[in-house]
Amino acid sequence: MFELYKAEFARYRVWALCAVVAVLAFYGFLAKLKPFFEAEALQIAAMNIGLVGGSFGFGIVQMILHKRINHWTYLIHRPLEVHKIFIALAGAALTIISIVVVVPLLIMTVGFDAFTAETVDMRHYAYILQLLLTCFAAYAVGTFSVLNASKGAFLIILMIAAYLMPNPETDFKQFFPAIIILAGLFLLNFNSFKADLTAHTKEPWAIFLQVSGMALGIVMAIMASSTVFYHLPLFITGQHPDDNPYDGSFSYMYEYEMGERPAYVLRNSTHPSADIYAKQAELADQEFFSLNQWTFPRQGQMYVKDKQYALQPRGLNQIWQFSHDAMLLIGRNNKTDEIIGVIGQNGFLDNLDAVTEADRFREVPFMIGESFLETTSHLYQVNFADRDMLVKHEPDAGEEYIGRLQINEDYIVIVSDKKSYLFDKVAFIDEFEATEAEYVVEHPTRPEAMAWVATYRLADGYMMLFSGNDYFANNKPGASIVHAKLGGSSELIHEEQYAYKRHPFWIQHLEFIASPANYILKNVYLHYIEPSETRNIPFKDITGNRYDTHVWIFAGFLQVLTALLAFFWSRRRNLGKAQTITWAAMGAIYGLPGFIALVLMSPWKRDVKA
């Protein structure tokens, strides 16, 4: 076995060496261009595509090379058990991947750690492990999609992408799922790696694992295909809702220019000044701000998830990076690379030796712009020239910030879970002192139900248009107009509920209907991993009033149908008892993806003696 491992390793070692050199050159080039650990989107994308995608491709290529008929016989037909052959091949490949992924990144990380004042934390090393595990998983999907006789095994890569990409709230949640997924993938590979590659998966446990892996990809494929079976035909026949806005519906609002939308919302208003508001909006300065809930950085999070690399005050040649290990901002001189001080939650300190436990931040703050730090409870402003820090703003008692400070043309805004705080822009930035908000608006509904707020500058404040498809919860769209007045008061002018009137429910809730189990599994898992991400719906919300009874009934009916379909299909194909039961169960559990997986995982041509 070890000889085979050596032989397979020898096959790729030159390539591995070339890859290491190329990756290292790429990293070196990046480090010249910008701070190496700054999570620039293009860099992360390039590393993911290059290394994770490369591992996926490598798995495919490696196994395709072996799968060629004569080569396969040569590989398998020797006095060595097949699982040992696989261990040798996969072992060699994982060694190659480890070398290409770890060596260059470790050189860079250790290099910066040892030879510069750049803040390098445990998390920078942990990222190497995280990247490596992801690459291993991608490799295993690559080999599996070649080795397995089924058609859709590659779809598992979509699950890897969806499940391993979020920003987990703990290290355990970061690494444990990756290890579980890896274990599952390698079990599947072991099961598929046998002399006869034309044999389809038979073992109930393997079918269950494989279908579970493919379900998410199949659901995504179903959703993508709705373009073909639903949207395109409607566009062609001119009956698509996008082309036929329905007056009185929520989406009809977008038929109007931004300035005209308040008029549409206020149409049924009984407020005495409704008309005036509507008219004022047309001429007012218009802006947006976001109500998106941000996942605040956690201690030890992968640095690729960082939103901002450091605070770099203009004209001072200083870089202040947040150290997750120390829970402090550590400043260094950009030119001399010397530590010039640290910032704790109580302000500046001269050096690390002066730090007491009380100085350390309790939460990892967002770094914003040149001088702001934001935790869920505090907004700090730093004056680097005078080496001073103060609390610029705090949300009202019982509230937490949910979003980063947003700097607009006309105002600055911070959003908490209950209110939006608007500040005068010039004073906010220029003055170094604690600030009260000029305008405070209580959100008319849960912020996660709304993505954006449109603001209209009025003579005496701002008119705000809140809207969302889920405004009244349970998929009931709505919008409201609020008048924010100077001094912190606000008045709800009007609130309007709309009919959905767009797509039929089976298109609107396609993801849920196609496979409630997959939908629940995905959301519950992702919600568990990253609770502050509002796109992930917790279990109690899904089972609450989110979906009408008829949606549940339809989905349930579909599942019974797919279970029956899977059962009879298996019977017709003369599958064994255990397989038939397993497939019927897959149809019952996963619904449509269960049945589609059965079709993908069965031979399409039946071998019949003519």
Partner 1 sequence: MTDYCIETDALTKCYGKKTALNDFSLKVQKGGIHAIVGSNGAGKSTLFRLLLGMIAPTSGSAKVLGVDSQNLTTDVRGKVGYVNEEHTLPVWMTAKAATHMQRSFYPLWDQKIYDHVIGYFDVDPNQKISGLSRGERAGLNLSMALAQSPEILILDEPTLGLDVVAKQSFLEALMFTETERAATIIYCSHQMEEIERVADQLIIMEKGHLKNNSAPHEFVERVSVWAAEVNGKPIDRSQIPGLLNIKRIDDQHHIMVTDQGDDFPEKVKHLGLTDLQSMPVNLERAVNAFLSKNHNSPDSKIG
**Which residues in this chain contact partner 1 in the complex, by CB under 8 A?**
3-4, 6-7, 10-11, 69-74, 76-81, 195-199, 605-610
Q: Which is nearer to partner 1, 82 or 578 (CB)?
A: 82
Of 518, 530, 532, the C-alpha closest to 165 is 530
Q: Which is nearer to partner 1, 74 or 205 (CB)?
A: 74
Q: Which is nearer to partner 1, 459 or 610 (CB)?
A: 610
Q: Which is nearer to partner 1, 193 or 411 (CB)?
A: 193
What tokens appear for 509 in the block? 């809730």
Smallest distance, partner 1 to C-beta of residue 597, A? 22
Q: Which is nearer to partner 1, 69 or 114 (CB)?
A: 69
Please state whether 220 falls in left (phi above 0), alpha (psi between -120 and 50) or beta.
alpha
What whole-number distance in Å separates Cα of residue 402 and Cα of residue 289? 13
Compute the radius of gyration of the chain from its Cα atoms: 29
For residue 229, the 8-state DSSP code is I
Q: Which is nearer to partner 1, 34 or 71 (CB)?
A: 71
How wide is the angle at C-alpha 126 spanned by C-alphas 182 and 9, nearest 5°? 55
Q: Where are the alpha helices (DSSP H) in 34-117?
A: 41-47, 54-67, 69-76, 82-115
What tokens appear for 386 in the block? 């005078």
What whole-number distance in Å separates Cα of residue 184 and Cα of residue 427? 57
Smallest distance, partner 1 to C-beta of residue 3, A? 4
545, with CB counted inside 10 A (0-12, 13-18, 19+), is: exposed
Three-class SS state of 411: strand
> Which are the contacts of 499, defined by CB distance < 8 A and separation ≥ 6?
246, 248, 249, 250, 477
Residue 427's Cβ-side half-sphere holds a number of Cα atoms within 13 Å equal to 11
The backbone torsions φ and ψ at residue 76, rounded to the nearest 5 degrees and listed phi first, read -85, -40
What whole-number distance in Å separates Cα of residue 191 and Cα of residue 331? 53
CB contact at 8 A, 124 and 303: yes
Q: Which is nearer to partner 1, 41 or 610 (CB)?
A: 610
Q: Which is nearer to partner 1, 78 or 307 (CB)?
A: 78
Smallest distance, partner 1 to C-beta of residue 89, A? 12
Q: Which is nearer to partner 1, 85 or 132 (CB)?
A: 85
What tokens appear for 307 in the block? 């939103």
Smallest distance, partner 1 to C-beta of residue 196, A? 5
Q: Which is nearer to partner 1, 195 or 553 (CB)?
A: 195
Smallest distance, partner 1 to C-beta of residue 76, A? 7
Tokens 């797919």, residue located: 562
Tokens 């103060």, residue located: 390
Smallest distance, partner 1 to C-beta of residue 92, A? 12
Please list, residue by residue across 131-156, b when 16 or more beta carbons sit within 10 angstroms of its beta carbon and e when fewer do: bbbbbbbbbbbbbbbbbbebebbbbb
One-letter amino acid identity for 261? R
Q: Which is nearer to partner 1, 6 or 535 (CB)?
A: 6
**DSSP calls for 487-507:** TS-EEEEEEEE-B--SS-HHH
How far is residue 156 CA from its own chain's centroid?
A: 17
